[in-house]
Structure formats: C-alpha cells, structure tokens
C-alpha cells in the first residue's frame, strides 16, 4: 500500500489533531525555561520546572493510559487535553507566581495530555486497513519528527521576539483547538473484551523488554542533544553548529521513518530489527564522540538519525503484536513513560559525568549504558518467546520427566 492511499479524510483529520496536540508537548521544556529565565536564579528554576513537567508525563502516561476505555476514548482524550490547556494557560498568565504554583501548573500540564499520544496512535491504526498499519505508523513518525524539529525554534522565537509568556498561551490555545478537533474522529476503536482473570497490569508487564529497548533508544537521543554542545567545544568547533547538526539528525530520522514504511515487511523479527537498529544507532553516536571533524560528525549524526526512527517503529509494531487491542493504548502510554524515563536518566547521567570527564567520554559511557539496556531487553524478549512457545503444563511435565521420555503436545 502506498502513502497516497493514506490521504483520506479521517487520517487527515487525525493529522491535524496530532499537530495541535503534540506541538505544545514538544515546545514545553524550552518554553518554561524562557518563561522564568529573567527571574533571579531563572535558569535553575526553569530546569526544575521542565523536570517537573517531564515527571508529570512519566507518571501520567501509564496511570491514565491504563484507565482508557477503547470504545469511549474520545471523552477521556478531550479531558486530558483540556487539563493540559489549563496548565499551560495558567503558566502563561501567571509567570511571576511563586515557584510552587508554577511547579503545580507544570505538573498539571504534563499529566493531563500524557496518555493522548498513545490513544491517538491506536486510533490511527483503527482508521486504516491492517495492511496499511506500517505505513500509517511511519507517517506518524515523520510527522512527529517534523513537529519536534520545529518546536524549539518556535518556542525560542516567540519568547525572545514577542514575550516569554506567548509560547505558553499559544500552547494552551493549541490544546484547546485539538479538543474541538477530536469531534472529527471516531469515539474510540474496536477491542475484544478483556479475558476473564486477565489483569491489565500483568499484560503490560509481559511487554517489559520492549519498554527497555525504548528507554535504550531515547538514551541515545538524549546523548546526541544534551552533550553535543560540550563536545563541539572540546573539539574546538563553533557551538553554533549544534543546531544544524541536530537538525540533520532529525531530518535523517524523518527520512528513515518514511523509507521504513515503503516496505511492508523487512527481514527478521520486529524484536531483532529493533535490537540491531538500536545498536547501529549506538555505533553512530559512538563515532560522533571520537571523530574530530565537523563534516564527519554531521555524517555520523545523519546516519544515526536514519536508523533511529525505524528502530522506534519496529518497537511500536512489536508492542502491537504482544498486547491485545484492549491494552494497546495503555501499552503505548507505558512506552511513552519509558521513553521519558530513558531520556531523563541519560540526561542526568550525562550532566553528572560532564563534571568529572570529557564530553567524548561521557558520550561513550552513555553508549555503554545503551548497549547494556539493549542486551537486557533482547534477552528478556527471547525468554518470553520461549515461554510462549511451551505451555505451562508442558514445562512442568518436562521438568519432572526424563529427557528421553516423550512429551505429549498440548493444544493451546
């Protein structure tokens, strides 16, 4: 199926809602820093507010995603977006408020729409035929990277060129528009009733290796974004190159997501694809740490970006295979929280390492962490596959029987 066949009215409406709901999320960390930077200790306060916002996302995504009703998801999505709009509007209207008040508003803005990306992803896959799911999710990836590429420039431009409160007010308005746009989308998606005795928490825990791989992938993204300016200074390269180099990474990611969707099935299992791609991205980031030339760093970053988006797509498709439709929104929300946690942990680690080691060494330490997380996720998934292939009563029988005794095959 070609991308042109995705140009239907429901998918276009979904795209409009996605842009208006995700652009504020992408702008938020930088926007809150600019909001308070002119206050005493403004940059420190801004960093804390950004951390509180991300913490709200990490906590809110799984908590709200697990409570989402597949058949009636739209009211829940609208409520989350409305809460986020109120949080952003409050920050924009009260920039001089006490830090505790600003922290509460930032937390509210993070928690409210945290489960929306997961819910919208499941809604998108319900709008297209099964054979077009890979293309639809590839299109979502391209759109997401485009949003994240434009968000920092938009937040900084409005804050510096107009007023620091304007980005927050715009973000609140965009979320309010997305609430209205939800009326153009279905109320929910079809999902089989949850099996008797099956726990949502247990189903989600079954997919933990995929979440670990997701955290590993975002560890690399954090390294590329947060340590690159310090690395350029170490190499004697103008720090102004950081923006164009990171833009190249984002453009490469958008291109990689598009190419991945051109083909319906790639060699190997989705788990193997994700593992290999994450390790390949890690190799590219490691090259960034050791290469001394600007052009070589640019090539390594673009190559890493080309593989970053396909690795994420493979993980999302693998999650779709593991979880039943009734748990997909919760699963994507947990994945969203895992990505945020991976980014936060890597950023904290990089900040601590930069105080005692060179930036290139900090990047290599982060790459080692990524490889360890990737290995843990891959081994965990292999074990889950083996357990799924052998029913529990057969496992018990084989443990007590002799190796030569035949084991009767049990139908599932």
Give the range with max mean pLDDT: 176-180, 277-281, 320-324: 176-180
Say if 396 falls within a structural domain: no
Instruction: Look at residue 408 in the predicted model and tell me its pLDDT.
Output: 35
Q: Is the pLDDT of residue 348 over 90?
A: no
Instruction: Look at residue 205 in the predicted model and tell me its pLDDT.
Output: 81
Stretch 113-122: mean pLDDT: 91
State the alpha helices, DSSP H only, in 182-269: 200-205, 208-226, 228-235, 242-262
Rounded CA separation 375/388 (Å):
20
Of the chain, the percentage scoring pLDDT greater than 70 comes to 90
Say if 206 falls within a structural domain: yes
Virtual CA dihedral for 128, 125, 77, 205, nearest 10 degrees? 160
Domain shared by 258 and 120, yes or no: no
Domain shared by 119 and 154, yes or no: yes
Domain shared by 233 and 321, yes or no: yes
Domain shared by 223 and 305, yes or no: yes
Instruction: Look at residue 168 in the predicted model and tell me its pLDDT.
Output: 95
Q: Are 46 and 30 in contact (CB under 8 A)?
A: no
Stronger pLDDT, 377 or 163, i.e. the higher one = 163
Instruction: Look at residue 387 in the predicted model and tell me its pLDDT.
Output: 63
Q: Is the pLDDT of residue 18 over 70?
A: yes
Instruction: Look at residue 89 in the predicted model and tell me its pLDDT.
Output: 95
pLDDT confidence tier of residue 171, bands split at 50, 70 and 90: very high
Domain shared by 110 and 254, yes or no: no
pLDDT confidence tier of residue 399, bands split at 50, 70 and 90: very low
Instruction: Look at residue 191 in the predicted model and tell me its pLDDT.
Output: 66
Q: Is the pLDDT of residue 402 over 80?
A: no
Stretch 141-147: mean pLDDT: 88
Instruction: Look at residue 388 in the predicted model and tell me its pLDDT.
Output: 54
Instruction: Look at residue 301 in the predicted model and tell me its pLDDT.
Output: 86
H/E run at residue 10: helix 9-36
The mean pLDDT value of the chain amounts to 82
Q: Which two tokens stand for residue 194?
A: 């949850």
What is the extent of the structural domain holding 278?
Answer: 201-391
Radius of gyration of the chain (CA): 22
Assign residue 331 the CATH number of its domain.
1.20.1250.20
Domain shared by 287 and 335, yes or no: yes
Domain shared by 178 and 257, yes or no: no
Q: Is the pLDDT of residue 7 over 70?
A: yes
Domain shared by 127 and 249, yes or no: no
pLDDT confidence tier of residue 356, bands split at 50, 70 and 90: confident
State the alpha helices, DSSP H only, in 94-227: 99-111, 116-127, 133-161, 166-181, 200-205, 208-226
Say if 289 falls within a structural domain: yes
Domain shared by 223 and 371, yes or no: yes
Say if 271 falls within a structural domain: yes
- Backbone φ and ψ for 370, nearest 5 degrees, come out as -60, -45
Q: Is the pLDDT of residue 346 over 80?
A: no
Q: Which two tokens stand for residue 384?
A: 């889950």
Rounded CA separation 187/70 (Å):
9
Q: Is the pLDDT of residue 395 over 70?
A: no
Say if 193 falls within a structural domain: no
Q: Are 315 and 210 in contact (CB under 8 A)?
A: yes
Instruction: Look at residue 33 in the predicted model and tell me its pLDDT.
Output: 85
Say if 196 falls within a structural domain: no
Q: How many CB atoms lie within 10 A of CB 404?
A: 5
Rounded CA separation 120/203 (Å):
20
Give the range with max mean pLDDT: 92-96, 184-188, 292-296, 362-366: 92-96
Stretch 80-95: mean pLDDT: 94
Stretch 119-127: mean pLDDT: 90
Rounded CA separation 220/9 (Å):
36
pLDDT per residue over 150-162, tens digit each?
888 888 889 988 9
Q: Which two tokens stand for residue 139?
A: 């299109």
Q: Is the pLDDT of residue 3 over 50?
A: yes
Rounded CA separation 382/214 (Å):
16
Q: Is the pLDDT of residue 400 over 60?
A: no
Domain shared by 170 and 279, yes or no: no
Say if 316 falls within a structural domain: yes
Rounded CA separation 73/184 (Å):
13
pLDDT confidence tier of residue 24, bands split at 50, 70 and 90: very high
Stretch 380-401: mean pLDDT: 52
Domain shared by 49 and 167, yes or no: yes
Domain shared by 86 and 167, yes or no: yes
Of the chain, the percentage scoring pLDDT greater than 90 comes to 22
Q: Provide the number of structural domains found in the chain.
A: 2
Say if 136 falls within a structural domain: no
Q: Which residues contact 109 (CB under 8 A, 6 or more apart)?
A: 28, 53, 56, 83, 84, 87, 88, 91
């Amino acid at each position: 199926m070609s991308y042109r066949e995705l140009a239907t009215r429901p998918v276009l409406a979904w795209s409009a809602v996605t842009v208006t709901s995700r652009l504020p999320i992408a702008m938020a960390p930088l926007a809150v820093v600019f909001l308070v930077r002119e206050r005493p200790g403004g940059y420190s306060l801004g960093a804390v507010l950004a951390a509180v916002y991300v913490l709200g996302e990490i906590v809110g995504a799984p908590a709200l995603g697990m409570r989402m009703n597949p058949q009636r998801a739209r009211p829940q999505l609208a409520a989350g977006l409305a809460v986020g709009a109120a949080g952003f509007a409050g920050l924009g209207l009260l920039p001089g408020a006490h830090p505790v008040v600003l922290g509460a508003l930032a937390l509210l803005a993070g928690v409210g729409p945290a489960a929306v990306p997961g819910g919208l992803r499941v809604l998108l896959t319900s709008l297209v035929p099964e054979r077009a799911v890979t293309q639809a999710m590839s299109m979502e990836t391209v759109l997401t990277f485009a949003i994240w590429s434009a968000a920092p420039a938009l937040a900084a431009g409005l804050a510096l060129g107009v007023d620091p409160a304007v980005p927050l007010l715009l973000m609140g308005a965009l979320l309010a528009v997305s609430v209205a746009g939800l009326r153009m989308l279905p109320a929910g998606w079809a999902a089989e009733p949850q099996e008797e005795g099956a726990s949502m928490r247990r189903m989600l825990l079954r997919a933990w290796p995929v979440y670990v791989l997701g955290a590993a992938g975002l560890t690399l993204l954090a390294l590329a974004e947060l340590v690159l300016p310090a690395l350029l200074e170490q190499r004697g390269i103008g720090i102004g190159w950081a923006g164009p180099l990171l833009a190249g990474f984002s453009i490469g990611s958008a291109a990689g997501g598009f190419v991945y969707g051109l083909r319906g099935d790639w060699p190997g299992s989705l788990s193997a694809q994700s593992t290999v791609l994450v390790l390949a991205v890690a190799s590219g980031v490691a090259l960034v740490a050791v290469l001394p030339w600007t052009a070589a760093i640019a090539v390594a970053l673009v190559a890493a970006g080309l593989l970053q988006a396909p690795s994420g797509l493979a993980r999302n498709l693998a999650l779709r295979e593991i979880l039943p439709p009734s748990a997909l929104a919760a699963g994507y929300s947990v994945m969203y929280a895992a990505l945020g946690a991976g980014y936060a942990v890597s950023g904290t680690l990089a900040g601590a390492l930069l105080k005692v080691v060179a930036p290139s060494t900090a990047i290599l330490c982060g790459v080692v962490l990524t490889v360890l997380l990737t290995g843990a996720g891959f081994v965990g998934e292999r074990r889950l596959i083996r357990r799924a292939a052998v029913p529990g009563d057969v496992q018990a029988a084989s443990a007590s029987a002799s190796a030569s005794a035949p084991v009767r095959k049990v139908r599932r």
